[in-house]
Structure 1
């Protein structure tokens, strides 16, 4: 654990989410030039780590690490725009200038709020920051939403957008295709590439005979000469002979030899024609066309396809388990296991991970369905250490995929879906921007509204509802049950609002209990004066109808739950 006087605090040792880079939890006080700034920052962050805001819990490590960044931004503004002004000399006009400065950077309202929030907390910590305290009460204590000029978000309202059905459908189908069909080819290509890299270590000098023998073998097998494909690092060379790969594959040399070697390769290309990629791994047929789903692999295409495969595994796990991004990123070797039900009839797939939010790193289990188990099995065969989600980098071969990088990978996969036969349509004329948070929100909404068969019949949400919501998957601490319950409440409210609009149009209910419902609607209409030609407050209308939503369930009453296959 870091000590108070250390120049660098590594907060990551206190436990950080697997979807964040370790560097995000390093606090380097040496990055602040002035010693007064360093000591003030040290005292403030110590106060944040050890002080509960009101009756709430201590702030998370991620929150404190983010505040370090926002604190540095404020200090940088004071140093560059106000000549290194001390905190105890800051005035309200200086804070107003900082607000204008944040807006000039084009930040979102939420980002501006975070920038200003650290200033408010500096004032709260004034008695504990003895080196240089912020004496002035920022904006006289006004709520930051009013200072910024945005509408406050209603409590418990989930603003994460749901992925539209016409987007999630082909996206899940493409992910299933990658896990069930393409994964075998990609893993075989990785094995071939690893063996090739190992074989090149023993190559010494040049051998024209080996090159001739390799080119003759291509002709005998009816294959073309390997050329650089569009996945190559030098895209402008696409279609040119893959000189380095040919020399290594044939054992003729470890790199481009030039001269007679290049001339011999060029002459073979004229005779045999090109073959994009050139690796030997066979390509499986696409289930829709019966044709190979891609050209042969090239060395550069292997890590590219591995990245797409890892992203497809993420889609299936995040969407079909209800786990948070941080919990998915904490999956490690051996996380998947099976258990039989009490009657030994049903075999349930389970995964074990770290419950990060609210759980403070506790281990929990989720019950999942078979596609999730298949995705985990594929991940365990991809290059990794203990964490299943990682990415190769130059200095550190294995590195966790951060949330921002995964968002980038998700949108690249969405764009790639068209190339493999699962086009994802645009929404309102624009490609849908996928984020990691959207999957949990979307599956909670689908389970609450039960639109069965949305994903082309390949995944049935009724099955997910039984596995994920009715007591089998996730824990109460994971919060997924609460999210589904909240979505169900919104669905009921939407039904009641629609029924109320019908009532205003003159439609009366003939069902048992309909008179009581109509009387309740009449009371609401009279109290709000909701009559033609008058505009009522929508929020107030919804608030009044919420009471009815708790007891009124509009729809067809099924005679028995056993017809759903759920048991009595």
Structure 2
């Protein structure tokens, strides 16, 4: 085809003229939504049926009219449609065109960069793309490649990975040149020639995947997890009933609007007041902000009627307000009723008792609440549901957003008392448009959180459960939760404040992986059945080997392998420093460490004559692979025939030790190290306190005395081996 530039500013007839964008790109479209056409200067994709929940409205609105030059608007439209419709014969005819369609979210981002490029050329009075030179391209990237403040001062350069897209867009104007009708680059010109965008910007073609998100520290995770589980499991059923009452109240108002006229006769109001007095039911109390409003209007602060909410009081009478003329005559009735029954907020009266989170003492689950605080409590519990689901499943935010009402698959009882819970969702990351159906095997705590979330939403079955959000900080979830926990309501329930640190599904996913991999006695283990959590994650991996839970399983195993190597190397360094292991397996472990030392002494490390950490890790790799963590010991599971836990269970072999049957004081493959000392010290202290208690029976004290002696013996061995006097 002829690659001579088209006449700038006078668009010729495009090959896509009159095209239906959805039909050409193969986008499933909802009924009742307008379908964008090629000639439209704004393409609205709000009708795209398979749009991911995390796709913002701005990403569904492609505003080509932001490009100042009309000819280049056509160029941008043709590029956008070509990026989507890669199977179109007009695109297939281009030798350099991309064969894999780009996701509409990606296209929206590329159009964003293209708009800046075209407008940069327009501002510099470049008449046509055919006159663009390499100098223009480099000048734009240099100017566009920095981040400036409001005053135009350069703050920092943009990342090379971010600039790759800009360079790619500029190069693809040439790659798709034969398709462009309004304007194109001159024959033979391609920005930066055959150099790839990665080489131009210095970004690696395949950047190394490094997990940069740190796990949540204990001081954040502990109060966060405690608050969420308490809200879901303890307050959840009561809040669900409260939400039903609030919804019924709202629907009643919508279905039966109150009369606008004022009360003319005191009889109906007197009957309502008499009913309140007879039942001993306080009159409805006004919200504090409404009380403040009355005070600004001139009400006496000592008026006994100041805090009465007249609107719900008059509703049974079919009236909306008390007229000024009638008010003096009904005032005595109101004052008498207030004196006898008082006033109280309408919601959560006579709340049932629930245990506090800290002490277990019984307290009402809520004090009476005004309407605004009642709705706020429902919202807080809803946020606790999504955070709990994220923390105990490791789901990405995109996967949480794709969960729908009814996502909990019917529980399957594989054996008596053995139930498997699954969440049916969708994975969109790295998948074809619309995502793919997937399942997560989850613990029962997650099922309770999801079931409660379904009771707290107006969404119908099949609609999104949690909706769209950009992390728990952007949608206010953490702010709402923190404020409620630190409020008098949270303090009354024994909840500790949550530190003001960012919490994101990525950090919760990383925390779960690290806790499962490296901290068998960590915070998650104290809040729920930790072994069950590990088992169901593995089952989810086995159930769908290519699913999203398999990706998390791989991340967990990678973190576990790294932690095993780190702990083994740490134990080896302590051995070199004279801090020896204790326990029945100490001699075997020290023999292995001595063999490593002999290898290192007989090895010539290089000109620097320094043994590197990498060399140590390579020699310890085999030993680290058999390490298993327990709260009070290390298990070096090399020979199943020697494992005491398997002997106690009557099993001949297993791939891993049975931690629940571990007796590290007798197992020949168990070792105790200095980091395990606090666990044994706690056990010894508890034993001392129980043995001194007069409430413990003599038979039970005999058993406790044996446990206490075992703990003290382990402490002595640890101290002696570590050289602690």
If the length of structure 1 is used for normalisation, what is the TM-score?
0.78
Q: Which residue of 1 aligns with 2:60?
A: 25
Q: Which residue of 1 aligns with 2:702?
A: none
CA distance in 2, matches of 1:83, 1:254: 66
CA distance in 1, matches of 2:390, 2:512: 9
Deviation at 1:422, TM superposition (A): 2.0
Q: Which has the larger radius of gyration?
A: 2
Q: Is 2:530 the counterpart of 1:461?
A: yes
Q: Which residue of 1 aligns with 2:371?
A: 299
Indicate which of 243, 246, 267 corresponds to 2:312: 246
Deviation at 1:514, TM superposition (A): 2.2
CA distance in 2, matches of 1:234, 1:523: 86
Indicate which of 59, 70, 80 corresponds to 1:35: 70
CA distance in 1, matches of 2:474, 2:431: 24
Q: Which residue of 1 aligns with 2:262?
A: 206
Q: Which residue of 2 aligns with 1:394?
A: none
On the 8 A contact 2:349/2:368 being kept in 1, the answer is yes
Provide closer, same or farther for how the CA distance between residues 269 and 114 of structure 1 changes in structure 2, counting only shifts above 3 A: farther
Question: Over residues 244-297 of structure 1, what are the superposed CA-to-partner deviations in whole Å (9 max), with x where a residue is unaligned?
Answer: 753565555447977755995995897479856423664333411422233323
Aligned residue for 1:352, secondary structure, equals strand
Return 487-496 or 128-137, whichever deviates more.
128-137
Question: Over residues 514-544 of structure 1, what are the superposed CA-to-partner deviations in whole Å (9 max), with x where a residue is unaligned?
Answer: 234334555899448486xxxx9xxxx5655
Q: Which residue of 2 aligns with 1:401?
A: 468
Aligned residue for 1:126, secondary structure, equals helix
On the 8 A contact 2:120/2:140 being kept in 1, the answer is no
Q: Which residue of 2 aligns with 1:552?
A: 623
Indicate which of 524, 541, 547 corresponds to 1:477: 547
Aligned residue for 2:382, secondary structure, equals helix
Q: Which residue of 2 aligns with 1:414?
A: 482
Return 157-166 or 89-98, whichever deviates more.
89-98
Indicate which of 169, 184, 192 corresponds to 1:122: 169
Q: Is 2:140 the counterpart of 1:94?
A: yes
Q: Which residue of 1 aligns with 2:496?
A: 423
Return 157-166 or 226-235, whichever deviates more.
226-235
Deviation at 1:378, TM superposition (A): 1.3
Indicate which of 156, 159, 165 corresponds to 2:212: 159
CA distance in 2, matches of 1:95, 1:410: 38
Deviation at 1:351, TM superposition (A): 1.4
On the 8 A contact 1:9/1:26 being kept in 2, the answer is yes
Indicate which of 401, 410, 414 corresponds to 1:329: 401
On the 8 A contact 1:325/1:436 being kept in 2, the answer is yes
On the 8 A contact 2:286/2:345 being kept in 1, the answer is yes
Q: Which residue of 1 aligns with 2:231?
A: 178
Aligned residue for 1:291, secondary structure, equals strand
Indicate which of 442, 450, 460 corresponds to 2:511: 442
Provide closer, same or farther for how the CA distance between residues 57 and 167 of structure 1 changes in structure 2, counting only shifts above 3 A: farther
Provide closer, same or farther for how the CA distance between residues 550 and 356 of structure 1 changes in structure 2, counting only shifts above 3 A: farther
Q: Is 2:442 the counterpart of 1:368?
A: yes
Question: Over residues 410-454 of structure 1, what are the superposed CA-to-partner deviations in whole Å (9 max), with x where a residue is unaligned?
Answer: 32223433332322453xxxx111112222221111111143351
CA distance in 1, matches of 2:102, 2:352: 50
On the 8 A contact 1:11/1:61 being kept in 2, the answer is no
If the length of structure 2 is used for normalisation, what is the TM-score?
0.63
Unaligned runs of 5+ residues in structure 2 are 1-21, 25-36, 88-95, 582-586, 628-633, 638-642, 647-655, 663-725
On the 8 A contact 1:322/1:480 being kept in 2, the answer is yes
Q: Which residue of 2 aligns with 1:486?
A: 558
Q: Which residue of 2 aligns with 1:15?
A: 50
CA distance in 1, matches of 2:269, 2:153: 57
CA distance in 2, matches of 1:506, 1:118: 55
Indicate which of 215, 219, 241 corresponds to 1:188: 241
Q: Which residue of 2 aligns with 1:396?
A: none
Aligned residue for 1:125, secondary structure, equals helix
Deviation at 1:56, TM superposition (A): 11
Q: Which residue of 2 aligns with 1:63?
A: 106
Q: Which residue of 1 aligns with 2:191?
A: 136
Aligned residue for 1:17, secondary structure, equals coil
Provide closer, same or farther for how the CA distance between residues 67 and 93 of structure 1 changes in structure 2, counting only shifts above 3 A: closer
Provide closer, same or farther for how the CA distance between residues 173 and 206 of structure 1 changes in structure 2, counting only shifts above 3 A: same
CA distance in 1, matches of 2:385, 2:598: 52
Unaligned runs of 5+ residues in structure 1 are 392-399
CA distance in 2, matches of 1:528, 1:298: 77
CA distance in 2, matches of 1:255, 1:522: 94
On the 8 A contact 1:366/1:475 being kept in 2, the answer is no
